[in-house]
Chains A and B, each alone.
Chain A
Amino acid sequence: MHYGMVVDLKRCVGCQACTIACKSENGTPPGVMYTKVLDQVSGEYPNVRKQFVPVLCNHCVNAPCEKVCPTGATHKRADGLVLVDHDKCMGCRACYVACPYNNRIFLKRGKLKSGYHGKTMTPYEAVKYKEHQDGIVEKCIFCSHRVDAGLKPACVQTCPADARTFGDLDDPESQVSRLIRSRGGVQPLSEDSTEPSVYYLS
């Protein structure tokens, strides 16, 4: 079992529904996004086009963040998910500078003391912020709690354009494997030999 994701750039409409679904699912504080959609303008006037590129932790097979982590907080599960043990992280941010995808977020001290409405937290924030710790590094966890329950990650579940597909990369008949095979899935920054578990179709 090796979980991975395929992102179809031709399908993504840049609606940021995945960004919101992720924030809602994980209850992250303001400014903390495990996933988001970046704009890319390409071409030259008058032939200009805009593309959208969803980005998230790539759960690399050769994860540089895991290698540099001095505490062992960043670890890899047998199913390929790269997770951070909040109780072990000391906030040195070695993983932040090691991640070529810049997909790690440091939660400054005090970050969890206020929510989207200032010091007054919504009941939802009050509950969800207890799942986080300040002074440590966080990142996309492929919604491991949902995956463990047999569900898809929130961003995949929500995407209205079906741009994100989640599944087992080890299974040649899974939808992700078939998409990568038939459409020529490309790993981001493959030249860095990190072997991301996220593939892009263009």
Chain B
Amino acid sequence: MSKTMSIVGNEYVMGFRRQVEWAGLIASAFFFGKVGAGLFMMSVYTQSRPGMLIGLAIVLGGKGGAHLLFLGRPGRFWRGMARPGSSWVSRGLWAMSFMTAFGGAALLLPAGSPLFQPLALVAAFFAFIVAVYDGFLLTSSNAIPVWNTSLMPVMCMFYAFLGGTTLTLFLSHFGVLQLPAGALLLPQLETVLLAVNLAIVFLYLITTVNSAGAGKRSFELLVKGPYAVPFFALAVGVGLVFTLVISISAGANATPGMVAVLTVADLIGHFFIFYLLLRVGVFKPVIGLLKI
């Protein structure tokens, strides 16, 4: 019976219902979380203090700010730390706190301190959790099949690595960061990450194309419905294909202008892929297999 049901709004009729609560601000929080944590991890790898500081600021200001704006009762945000045993929201909040504490402590140390590297590595570990926990958060929702896929954390991880690499390249081209000699392979890493992300998005579409019920409705919204144009034009076209072409054609000799264009395009794609995946979340009809 659910095959014939359509997507309905708040009408008093049975059907598929779209989730409407998690949208722009949550997508912004996911975006800033991944980009900031990615930059932080890359900066620990390249041993760049300014990069770590900027990454931390993006996570705290961007992700934290978006979350606070989203919460219905932002003054109670601290209560969100109460259930790390079962809630990914709680785990994310703890990870952000630890990342801030260890990262902040490392940055406060004087240059050359023997404690800097261990503290930075611990902070990078928590930055990794910040980058991927939203994937687990979405995956844990059985209610919305298009999110309930093990590819989600993988996608989050690679988008975080990509965002971090892109921002590192951007900041180094504009003199904010000084990269060590070993980091000269970053342009090649950027190309590889763009290709991997494109492959993951393609794989994600393949896994959802054959899904039934609510998953199929989500897929239709994404590739045929009102979100098809932003998905193919911005998330895939600008964010992955265009950037991949620039990355391959420019290689290691990219001018600052090209890097700036690549960075903007990558960030646009990064934001829109998760924004659109949130927007196309569809619940199953409430009766499930019940025959009436």
Q: Write out the residue numbers on chain B whose beta carbons fall within 8 Å of the beta carbon of A92.
A: 70-72, 80, 89
* CB <8 Å contact, B87 and A42: no
Say what secondary structure dominates the interface of chain B. Answer: loop
Chain B residue numbers with a CB within 8 Å of A31 are 10
Indicate if the CB atoms of B12 and A70 lie closer than 8 Å. no
Residue of chain A at shortest CB distance from B8: A38
Determine if A90 and B292 form an interchain contact, defined as CB atoms under 8 angstroms apart: no
Count chain A residues whose beta carbon lies closer than 8 angstroms to a beta carbon of B. Answer: 52
Is A68 a contact partner of B140 (Cβ separation < 8 A)? yes
- The secondary-structure label for the interface of chain A is loop
A190 pairs with B289, CB closer than 8 A = yes
Bitwise interface map of A from 121 to 141 toward B, beta carbon under 8 Å scored 1, else 0 = 000000000000111110000
How distant is the Cα of A101 from the Cα of B147 in the complex, in angstroms? 16
Which residue of the partner chain, among A67, A137, A202, contacts B290 with CB atoms under 8 Å? A202
Contact B143 A67 (CB under 8 A): no
Minimal beta-carbon separation of A116 from chain B (angstroms): 17
Contacts of B147 in A (CB 8 A): 97
Enumerate chain A residues within 8 angstroms of B141, measured Cβ to Cβ.
Answer: 64, 68, 97-98
Q: Does residue A72 face the partner (Cβ distance < 8 Å to B)?
A: yes
Partner of A90, one of B10, B80, B140: B80
CA distance A55 to B14 in the complex (A): 10
State the Cβ distance, B48 to closest chain A Cβ, in Å: 33
Indicate whether B86 reaches chain A with its CB closer than 8 angstroms. Answer: yes
Q: Name the one of B137, B140, B292 contacting A53, with C-beta atoms under 8 angstroms.
A: B292
A135/B73 in contact, CB under 8 A: yes
Q: Are A93 and B22 in contact, with the CB atoms below 8 A?
A: yes
Q: Which residues of A contact B289 (CB under 8 A)?
A: 186, 189-191
Enumerate chain A residues within 8 angstroms of B71, measured Cβ to Cβ.
90-92, 135
* B residues less than 8 Å from A96 (CB atoms): 19, 21-22
Q: Which of A102-110, A149-157, A162-170, A172-180 contacts B (4 or more CB under 8 A)?
A: A102-110
Docked complex Cα distance between A188 and B13 (Å): 16
| Contact of A61 with B by CB under 8 A | no
Nearest residue (CB) in B for A72 is B82
A-B contact pairs, 23 of them (CB 8 A): A38-B12, A38-B14, A40-B292, A67-B87, A70-B90, A71-B82, A90-B71, A90-B72, A92-B72, A93-B21, A94-B88, A98-B142, A102-B19, A102-B143, A109-B72, A136-B72, A136-B73, A186-B289, A186-B290, A188-B287, A189-B286, A189-B287, A202-B290
18 further contact pairs, Cβ within 8 A, besides A94-B137, A108-B72: A38-B14, A64-B141, A67-B87, A68-B141, A70-B79, A70-B81, A70-B83, A73-B79, A89-B73, A90-B73, A94-B89, A100-B284, A100-B286, A102-B286, A186-B290, A190-B289, A192-B143, A200-B287
Chain A contacts to B: CB under 8 angstroms: 9, 16, 31, 36-40, 42, 51, 53, 55, 64, 67-73, 88-94, 96-103, 106-109, 133-137, 186, 188-192, 200, 202
Q: Which 3 A-B pairs have the closest CB atoms?
A: A91-B72, A135-B72, A189-B288
